[in-house]
Structure 1
Amino acid sequence: MIRSAVLPKPAPARVLACGAYLKNTACLIEGTRVLWSDPHGDLIGAANREALNVSVEELLREASGPVQAVAHDLHPDFHSTHIAQAVADRLGVPAIGVQHHHAHIAVAQAEQGVAGPVIGLALDGVGLGDDGSAWGGEVLWVDSAANQWRRLNHLAPLMLPGGDVAAREPWRMAAAVLQRLGRTDEIEARFAPSVGVFAARLVRSLLERQVNSFPTTSAGRWFDAAAGGLGLCVHQTFEAEAAIALEQQARTWLQAHPEYVVQWTSLDLAPLVAKLFAMSDEGVASSGEGAALFHLGLAGGLAHAATEAARAHGTRTVILGGGCFLNQVLSERVSAALHGASLVVLRPQGVCCGDAGLALGQAWVAGCTLHAGQVMASSAEVASCA
């Protein structure tokens, strides 16, 4: 079933967007209308993929005129990318790839009519960067009116030992922090009791040899590392289990210790996680204090980076986007620090800040791309992004 929402300003073009790979929804923007498909879930199974195919055709039938472009993620292997390209080819319009984290920031720009330059903090599990690497903890400068954006900074990268399996086993990300700290000799002793000698030895070898491992700046994987370091979660049975456990521990501890403060301004969180290892080894603190330390340190590093970027680029607006900002402790602490620096903080309101709302950002960026004349539009019906 197609549902509609209203934008505060007309869309720059009539654009269909095919959404993310996970928590997929599609949408179409035209004038001040956003038409949303039903949620399709993750595009792993055939049923969800077919549901997206059906929704795309329904959105096209609901459009009040010819679609001028079809937007999709940069990842070439996603089903949403394949269907976007096929539909664009059928209609004779451009298929426009939009970087994942740029789209996260553009959701709030579209929803709240933000035209001028902003600083975006985009935090999630993963998204393909325009350099081909795995992003997920990004500080961006975005100007939708000029259709320009730039990556300014990011969380320090961690290796993913074993590739995607590391996203399901937080202890591997904790081991990756040890590798970043130059302490791979500790991996077996620290993790073998919970995962077995063979697994711990294998991960140590992967990290030391940098085989079947690649770097990511993902905030989600840093949450996994902290949870793994504290022993809160070794293997995840559902998405974001480690991050949820970490947030719950932090929230409970901070409610009991409202005076707790962490002074931290770096985007390299390895020294923070090293403190978690030390606290655990010495038995001097609860997992709640460690979780609070990580949350407040991460919030401090992000707020400092965004504040510096805003000053350097002459803007007072910061947009928070990406699924990690569903974490209320993180979102509240980052927002409070930015407000304290006299900055305006925005985040999506009517749609999810995670991948379920990504299609709106994709459509908006693609429309602005048409308006900027960076691709050929299918008609002259292109409005301003300003």
Structure 2
Amino acid sequence: MVEHNEIHCRCLVGGQVQGVGFRPFVYRLAVEEELAGQVGNTSEGVRIDIQGPSAAVERFLRRLRAELPPLARLTRLEREDLPVDNTRHGAAFRIVESTGRSGHSVLVSPDVGICGDCLREMRDPADPRHGYAFTNCTNCGPRYTITRAIPYDRATTSMACFPLCPRCAAEYGDPLDRRFHAQPVACPVCGPRLWLVRTPDADRGAPPAREAVRAGQALAEAAAVLRQGGILALKGLGGFQLACDARRDDTVARLRQRKSRPHKAFAVMLPDLDAARACCRLSPEHAALLCAPEKPIVLCPVREESGGLSPLLAPDTDSLGIMLPYTPLHVALFDALARETAMPPALVMTSANPRGEPLCLGNREALARLRHEADAFLLHDRDILVRVDDSVTALFPAGQAGGAAPFFHRRARGYVPRPVPLDLADAQSPTVCGTGAQLKATLCLTRGRDAFVSQHIGDLENLPTARFYEEVSAHLERLLEVRPELLVCDLHPDLLSSRWARERASREGLPLLRLQHHAAHAAAVLAEHGRTDGALAICLDGTGLGTDGIIWGGEVLSMELEALRWQRLGGLSPFALPGGEAAIREPWRLALALREMLGQADEPASWDGTMRPPVDAWGADAQLAAARTTARHQASLLREMLRWGVNCPLTSSCGRLFDAVSAELGICLATSYEGQAAIRLETLARCPEARPLADEEAADELLRPPAGDDETWRLDTPALFAAVQHDAARYGAATAALRFHERLAGGLARLAARLAAATGFRTVALAGGCLQNLLLARLLLRALRARGLHPLLPLELPPGDGGLSLGQAAWGLCAWKSGKLPPDGVD
């Protein structure tokens, strides 16, 4: 007989609930509470049917939210009360098969670093998975990179070709086992296998007979290659990586030569936190982020002694990108190295993408594309279906986020495809595609209340990266089972992302909106924080086409997202960009342009080659010496270009201002990678001898009110530059670099305060790639708060172009909601 207090209800759960141990978790809770019913994956989400005493049911529902598995995330839990089913009284709870193929609302988990349980098994000689390089469970392992389609079952992953052995099948089918329905589950008997190919044998491509290949042999040979100073290409989680000994100058120099990467920093993988602490000054927040399930690269301050690491790893900066082993393959390789080395192993671990192209995925592809870069290849037979690079993070500037929140430089592995929830959308909202920018490109697709920003794609400057862009678009649409109903692209018509959007809109008859670059930056930050009312935005980056023909990059905007209104109210005063894009590669041109504006006919004293650069590593830089010679020889020609206005477009770019100051101080006159001049300038500003301003100067003196046809308030760029010259002559380059940061932040804050008083907006979104300069970000936050303003930095996405596609998508959703779509399909 059914008890009078028995109830029956059905719950539909949406979120990150597939491949994360959610169903066995539900099963265990139901068994512990002695409830009847079932749980299963459906096209709408995970459906839970439970029946039992009302107190037990209510307790089950409370625990369902409070005791989630480590990787599970709930975005929706809908409850429906049903009549009690008398036939279920006393029945067992069970897990049922997945149903449904479309319209789903479950989320595929990002790839997750190895968990403590799997690590213990790998290091237990008595365990069947001892040393096995593909160990995983429901709490860790590959997800996004091996998933072909939804629902997330083994048949739709690259593990489909590995039939389970009896031991693994028993674990996979046991609801109380932590490998229950762990789709990548495998062991040495039935799972993927390793082999090693040395470069002279690379043309053969195939491994020897499997019976003759043991993971231990391949790992031992790979470790020997690294110990002998070789460069190893290994098949990682989202693509191939190049590894070498991070303690050997000759090996790091050889890797730089082979990759044509003379200065840009390399990331380093270290075996554990103790090894990381020996090399870097780690705060508790650094340590927590390094050990988080996502296992990102974390930028950490380097110790002076640096634990024996090569000084060639990051010659431009006093920070180093550190990561811990995040796959069992990395763990097994480090264990093999540790058996033969006295010091803890340290490996450069960098993306295997020659000439700025996408990561290599397949074995044959890597053997062909990396044959001139790697001495050996550590390969395996589990296919990678999706290219995903490592995520790069720093710690949030003080006061922005609690705990170990990442501040993204690059958002990819471990975080994608985790969605950004949008308060401005609802379940019936259309699917909008934000097509992103040219550099650090991403795509954004919306589905209902969620925005899915793709992994970092790269710079859209070659055909392979353009194909990768299309590949990402197709895969995201397939995974989310959506098709765009509206496209939003950048205002610049010649960007590859803009052309792609235009061609697709024409081909499929879709409406297309264009949004100015910095307005998209502002919209991204405000949408993430749920701010659709009026706000200001300070957007500081390299370049973006403005509405007035000037190349913008240092702007203060007003933005009312829901009302689809934005306006540029202020920014840096424009200066010349002599030679156009050549000035981006050669910052000395920018320094001369600003000197010309100040009426100075000479070159900086720092260019004569007699002054010792403030950082010793830069003094040995042959590129810097060559750039000094070039600048001196071409200075007169450049001045003629400036006087006649030949190929000298105007820019208000904050990034270009950083470049000009870096060149003026003689620390970077020509760049080998984007942001190099600014990175050196920030590093110099953090030198111990740098002296801050004694008190805040009257930055109002730098403000210029609207004049003539220009309706915007301006921060006087030549005056900022002249202050740098004064400080350098009186106090030295390091103090000049620090005080430039301080004056810029103070001037922008005063400008924002003046505009806040005029508009009534007290919230200030901060966006643009210059905000990845943490010194500038901290100074801006402090200066804005001191004036009673409420600054916002992005929490979920990079402040630079990697987050811009979200702003485009948010703008498109607001346009659709308001009905302000172009009548002919294109705005």
Q: 1:259 to 1:156 in 2, by over 3 A?
A: same
Pairing partner for 1:331 from 761, 777, 784: 777
Task: State whether residues 158 and 215 of structure 1, in contact with CA within 8 Å, keep that contact through their aligned partners in structure 2.
Answer: yes
Task: State whether residues 439 and 458 of structure 2, in contact with CA within 8 Å, keep that contact through their aligned partners in structure 1.
Answer: yes
Given the alignment of the two structures, is residue 3 of structure 1 paired with residue 438 of structure 2, yes or no?
no
State the 1:218 CA deviation: 0.2
Task: State whether residues 137 and 154 of structure 1, in contact with CA within 8 Å, keep that contact through their aligned partners in structure 2.
Answer: yes
Q: CA RMSD in A?
A: 2.3
Per the alignment, in what secondary structure is the counterpart of residue 212 of structure 1? coil
Larger CA deviation: 79-88 vs 254-263? 254-263
Per the alignment, in what secondary structure is the counterpart of residue 153 of structure 1? strand
State the 1:272 CA deviation: 2.6
Alignment of 1:331-350 (within 5 A): 331-350=777-796
Task: State whether residues 335 and 345 of structure 1, in contact with CA within 8 Å, keep that contact through their aligned partners in structure 2.
Answer: yes
State the 1:373 CA deviation: 2.3
Q: Aligned residue for 1:272?
A: 720
The runs of 5 or more residues in structure 1 that have no matched partner are 379-386
Q: Aligned residue for 1:220?
A: 655
State the 1:334 CA deviation: 1.2
One-letter amino acid of the structure 2 residue matched with residue 271 of structure 1: A
Larger CA deviation: 324-333 vs 213-222? 324-333
Q: Aligned residue for 1:384?
A: none
Q: Aligned residue for 1:92?
A: 509
Task: State whether residues 119 and 141 of structure 1, in contact with CA within 8 Å, keep that contact through their aligned partners in structure 2.
Answer: yes
State the 1:230 CA deviation: 1.0
Per the alignment, in what secondary structure is the counterpart of residue 213 of structure 1? coil
State the 1:359 CA deviation: 0.5
Distance in 2, matches of 1:320 and 1:135, equals 15
Q: Aligned residue for 2:574?
A: 157
The runs of 5 or more residues in structure 2 that have no matched partner are 1-385, 387-415, 610-627, 703-714
Per the alignment, in what secondary structure is the counterpart of residue 3 of structure 1? coil
Q: 1:69 to 1:205 in 2, by over 3 A?
A: same
Given the alignment of the two structures, is residue 174 of structure 1 paired with residue 591 of structure 2, yes or no?
yes
Q: Aligned residue for 2:755?
A: 309
1 or 2, which has the higher helix percentage?
1
Alignment of 1:102-181 (within 5 A): 102-181=519-598
Deviations 1:30-52 (A, max 9, x none): 22212232321000011110001
Per the alignment, in what secondary structure is the counterpart of residue 436 of structure 2? coil
Task: State whether residues 192 and 200 of structure 1, in contact with CA within 8 Å, keep that contact through their aligned partners in structure 2.
Answer: no
Identical-pair percentage: 37
Per the alignment, in what secondary structure is the counterpart of residue 86 of structure 1? helix
Deviations 1:163-219 (A, max 9, x none): 111011111111111122122x22498857723443111111111111111100000
Alignment of 1:213-252 (within 5 A): 213-252=648-687
Q: 1:160 to 1:256 in 2, by over 3 A?
A: closer
Q: 1:327 to 1:260 in 2, by over 3 A?
A: farther
Distance in 2, matches of 1:365 and 1:10, equals 10
One-letter amino acid of the structure 2 residue matched with residue 46 of structure 1: L
Q: 1:140 to 1:257 in 2, by over 3 A?
A: closer
State the 1:10 CA deviation: 4.5
TM-score with structure 1 setting the length = 0.91
**Higher RCO (C-alpha under 8 Å, 6+ residues apart):** 1
Distance in 2, matches of 1:117 and 1:306, equals 14
One-letter amino acid of the structure 2 residue matched with residue 82 of structure 1: R
Q: Aligned residue for 1:60?
A: 477
Residues paired across the two proteins, number: 376
Distance in 1, matches of 2:605 and 2:475, equals 56
Distance in 2, matches of 1:332 and 1:254, equals 20
TM-score with structure 2 setting the length = 0.44
Alignment of 1:196-211 (within 5 A): 196=630, 197-211=632-646
Deviations 1:3-58 (A, max 9, x none): 13131414364201111100111110122212232321000011110001112222
Distance in 2, matches of 1:160 and 1:121, equals 22
One-letter amino acid of the structure 1 residue matched with residue 723 of structure 2: K
Q: Aligned residue for 2:602?
A: 186
Q: 1:76 to 1:234 in 2, by over 3 A?
A: same
State the 1:340 CA deviation: 1.1
